[in-house]
Structure 1
Amino acid sequence: MRSIPPSMDPVVVATIDDRLDAVADRERVAIPWAIESGSRAWGFPSPDSDYDCRFVYVRTAEAYLDPWPRRDVIETPLDAVLDVNGWDLVKTVRLLVKGNATLVEWLASPIVYRGDGVFRDELLVLAQDVVDRAGLVRHYAHVGSAQHAGWADGGRGLKKAFYALRPAAVLRWLRVQPGAAPPMDLRTLLVQGEASDALREAVDELVALKAVTREMGPGAVPEVISRFVADELERARAGGGSSGPLAESRDRREARERAAEFFRSAVERYAPVRTVGA
C-alpha cells in the first residue's frame, strides 16, 4: 500500500524511496511498513518542515538466531530536509508491549511510503490487545506539559503551540473514545474527540497560518486553544484522562506471549531469504 498526498515534493519522496531501497539492499532487510511522521502526518506542516520517514524492518530468520545480534535501529544521514530511520521488528514488538506511543502513531500515519496492509492491521490488533491506555495518557500528558511550559508569554511560537495542542487533542480522544490507537491527524482527533465547533474553527485558522509561516515563526494563539490545552493537561494530571485499565492490572506475561506469537509469524512471512555466501 502507498498513500502520498499531492502536496508533498515528488523529488523528496523519490529520494526517500531510494533511501529505503538502499537500506533494504545494504542491510538485507525487508521493510513492511514505512511512513511519514512529524508535522506533515499530524496535519500542520510549515513551508520549511523537514520530512520524517520512519520504518519497521525485518532481518533474515538466521539473523534473529545470531548470538551477537546487530543494532535494533537503522539510521540514514540526517540533513536539513530528510530524517529517515527505522526500528527492527524485535524493538517494535518489545516497545509495543511497553505501550510505546510513538509506534502507535506510526501505525496510524495517513502518509505511507510503502507498506503491507496485513502487517499494519495485525500490529494494530496487537496494540489494541496489549497497549496500556493509562500509559498513553501519561506519555501525552508529559509531552504536552513540557511543550506547554515552553510557551513564551505574549509571543508563543506556533511550533510549540501545535506541539502542545496535539497531545492535548490525543488526551481528549482517549477520554471519549475506546481503543488504544488514536488517529494521527490533528483535525481528525478533534472531530472524533467531540471538540467544540469554536475550537475546531480556531485550529483550522491556526493550521492555515502555520502553512505560510516558517517552522520556528511566531504567531498569536487564540484563547479557546490555550484554554483547551490547559484544561486537558490538567484533567490528565488529575487522573481523569482515561478509563482504560492500569498497567499493573494487565497480565504482562500474556501480552508478551501475544507479541512473541506475532513476531514469529511476521519473521516467517516477511524475513528476506538469506543468499548463499551472504
Structure 2
Amino acid sequence: MKEKIKNILSEMEAAHHVKIIYACEAGSRAWGTASEDSDYDVRFIYIRPKNWYLSIEQKREVLEIPVTKELDMVGWDLRKALVLLNKSNPTLLEWLQSSIVYYEKDAIVNELRLLSRSTFSAKTCLYHYLNMAKRNAKGAFNSPNANVKLVLNVVKPLLACSWIEKYHSIPPNELQHFIDGVLTPSPLRSEIDELLANKLKKVEEVKREELIATQEYVAERMVQLSEYVKALEEDRENYTEALDQFFQSTLDRVWD
C-alpha cells in the first residue's frame, strides 16, 4: 500500500502541476488503534508555482482523490496550511507529529515543525480536544454495551488535554504514548489498556459495567479541564511575518 500511495502522490503532482512537500498517515493507523483491515487516511501538504498565487481570484486550496473503502487522501496547499498553523490548528499539528510519513522534503518540513512549536497554543488545543471529547461522550455510555471505538474517541482527546497540561507541548498522535505519558498503574489504566487491546482485535463492544473507572475519569476530567482552560492565560501570538518568510523561501527552494 505504501508504494501505491507514493504512486498516487506522484500522479497528483503531474496532473495538478504541484510539488508535494509532505505526506503522512493521519487516522487510526497513526494513532496506533488500527486493525489489519482499517483504511488509510493520507494527508499531504503541497505547493503550486509562484504565478498561481499572484492572482485576485480566490482559488481552491484543497486537493483530494475519490474516497475508496481502503484509501482516503486529502491535501492542503501550503499557504492554507500556514494560515492554520498561525492559529495553532490541532489537525495540522497532528499531521506534523505523525510517525507514519510517506514523503517529506526534509529541510523544509523540519523547519515547518520548528515553526509549529513556536505557534503552538495550549489554550487553543485544549479547547479543541476538550470539545471533541464532549461531543463524542454524548453517546458513549448510554446503553448496557459501550462501543469500543467511540469510548476511545472520548478517552484519546482527554488524554491529549492531560498531556498538554502536564508537558505544555504538542501532544503525540499515538494513544499508547498518551497512556504511558500521563497515566500511572491504576484501574483506569487497566481499563484503557484493555480497550486498546480490544480495538486492535476488532472487538466492537464491551459491557459498560467493565468501564467504571473510565466513566468516572471522563466525568471528572471534563469538569476539571473546563475550569483549567478557562483560567489559562491566552498564549497565542501572531507569527505572520515568520510564516510569510517561510512561504516565500519555500517557493524559491521548490521551484527555482
Name the TM-score, length of structure 2 as normaliser. Answer: 0.90
Alignment of 1:99-110 (within 5 A): 99-110=88-99
Structure 1 residue 237 displacement after superposition:
1.3
Higher RCO, Cα 8 Å, sep 6+: 1
Letter of the structure 2 residue corresponding to residue 267 of structure 1 = L
State the Cα RMSD in Å: 2.0
Greater fraction of residues in helix:
2
1:159 corresponding residue in structure 2: 149
For 2:131, the equivalent position in structure 1 comes to 142
Q: Could you tell me which residue of structure 2 aligns to residue 6 of structure 1?
A: none
Q: Which amino acid aligns with 1:232?
A: R
In structure 2, stretches of 5+ residues that fail to align are none
SS state of the match for residue 239, structure 1? helix
After superposition, the C-alpha distances for 1:118-172 in whole angstroms (9 at most, x for unaligned) are 3232222212212321010100011111001121332211111111111011000
1:187 pairs with 2:171: no
Q: Could you tell me how far apart the structure 1 residues matched to 2:212 and 2:44 are?
A: 37
C-alpha contact 1:174 1:242 (8 A) present in aligned 2: no
Contact 1:171 1:232 (C-alpha < 8 Å) held by counterparts: no
Separation (CA, whole Å) in 2 of partners of 1:224 and 1:50: 31
User: What does 1:247-266 correspond to in 2, within 5 Å?
Assistant: 247=235, 250-252=236-238, 255-266=239-250
2:193 paired with 1:209: no
Closer, same or farther in 2 for the Cα pair 1:269/1:229, shift >3 Å?
A: farther
Question: 1:196 pairs with 184, 197, 202, which one?
Answer: 184
Contact 1:99 1:131 (8 Å CA) reproduced: yes
CA distance in structure 2 between the partners assigned to 1:228 and 1:118 by the alignment: 42
Mean CA deviation greater in 40-49 or 139-148: 40-49
Identity of aligned residues (%): 30
Please state how far the C-alpha of 1:200 moved relative to its aligned partner.
Answer: 3.6
Q: What CA distance in whole angstroms lies between the structure 1 residues aligned with 2:51 and 2:243?
A: 20
Aligned residues: 252
The 10-residue stretch of structure 1 (42-51 or 74-83) with the greater mean CA deviation from structure 2: 42-51
Inter-CA distance 185–93: structure 2 relative to 1 (3 Å threshold): same
Report the equivalent of 1:53: 42
For 2:154 and 2:68, the matched residues in 1 are separated by: 25
Determine if the alignment matches structure 1 residue 246 to structure 2 residue 230.
Answer: no
- Render the CA deviation track for 1:36-63: whole Å, top value 9, x for unaligned: 0111111111343211000000111221
Instruction: Deviation per CA, 1:257-276: give whole Å up to 9, x if none.
Output: 12212211222222x46xxx
* Alpha carbons 2:123, 2:229 under 8 Å: kept: no
| Aligned mate of 1:113, from 89, 96, 102 | 102
Unaligned runs of 5+ in 1: 1-11, 274-278
Q: Would you say 1:173 and 2:160 are equivalent positions?
A: no
Counterparts in 2 of 1:208 and 1:251: CA distance versus 1, 3 Å:
closer
Shift of 1:204: 2.6
Inter-partner Cα distance in structure 2 for 1:29 and 1:71: 13
Using the alignment, how far apart are the partners of 1:144 and 1:154 within structure 2? Answer: 20
Distance apart, 1:242 and its partner CA: 8.3
Q: Which moves more between the two structures, 22-31 or 83-92? A: 22-31
